[in-house]
Copies of this chain bind each other. A is one copy, B any other.
Amino acid sequence: MAADAASFLALYTDFGSDDPWVGELKASLWTIQPQFKILDMTHAIPSHDVAAGAFAVYRGSRNLPPWTINLGVVDPGVGGPRRPILVITENSYFIGPDNGLFSFIYQHDPVSRVIHLTSSHYFRQPLSETFHARDVFAPVAGWLSRGIDSAKFGDEIEDFVRLPVPVDKMVGESLVKGEVMAVDRFGNLITNIRQSTLEELSQKTGKTKFRALVAGHEMPFVRGGGYTQEAPVFALVNSSGLVEIACCASAATEVLGVGKGKDVGVMVE
């Protein structure tokens, strides 16, 4: 692992930013690896909502530099029997609790190994019972970035926790089904329908023009931000490679009256 590449550390937590936890976490990271470039991807995952966190980790990690260390912390079972883990994919690391937080990663990314973190001499001492992000995940991230071989942190496991996650899927020959996973600050609806699935649809049908369907509304796909389009509500492939329903003038979530969990379809025109 190149030293430079390893220096990106991305945080996804349910900590908010009013309490001292993010600061303590960064102190723990920089104490071991002063070179870390720390990216606050989000600290606004709803408290203890592992499913929402799983999507946030997936969505946020699509476009980070190779070998970024992604540190995910939605950890209601901290101090209990749940295991701390390191997940290695073809070009990224994920560190956090083994509670399903990385289920989207298991689903869509090529996972090469999952390691149960047991080598406690790499942990912060004394080890608290309620803040393993600071005391376990952060120090392991630091040592990993400094070149410690991943096998030194513990044994590989195969029975890591996979939660069922909503996956986009082809239905018949000309339709992809998915759902709204999140609503962003602009009121846009972020879905789980991937660009790669649309490409599959194109290959099957030989067509490249799509329409989206949400709550009885049909809308065109546009290129660009679409804010100059005539259609009041439209679909696009966003900067994370996911289908998004957006709106020129106001929030799509309000115009359509739909939010998280709503079914979305994409079909060829």
**What residues of chain A have their CB less than 8 Å away from a CB belonging to chain B?**
4, 7-8, 10, 14-20, 22-24, 26-27, 30-31, 34, 37, 39-44, 47-48, 56, 59-60, 63-65, 68, 75-81, 128-131, 134-135, 184-186, 223-228, 236, 238-240
Contacts and interface: CB of A to CB of B under 8 A. Distances in A.
Contacts of A31: 65
B59 A20 contact: yes
Tallying the copies of this chain within the complex gives: 3
Contacts of A40: 17, 22-23
A42 B19 contact: yes
B186 A47 contact: yes
8 contacts: A10-B23, A14-B185, A18-B44, A23-B39, A24-B60, A79-B224, A79-B227, A131-B239
Nearest to A7: B34
Contacts of A228: 77, 80-81
Contacts of A41: 20, 23-24
A184 to B, nearest CB: 5
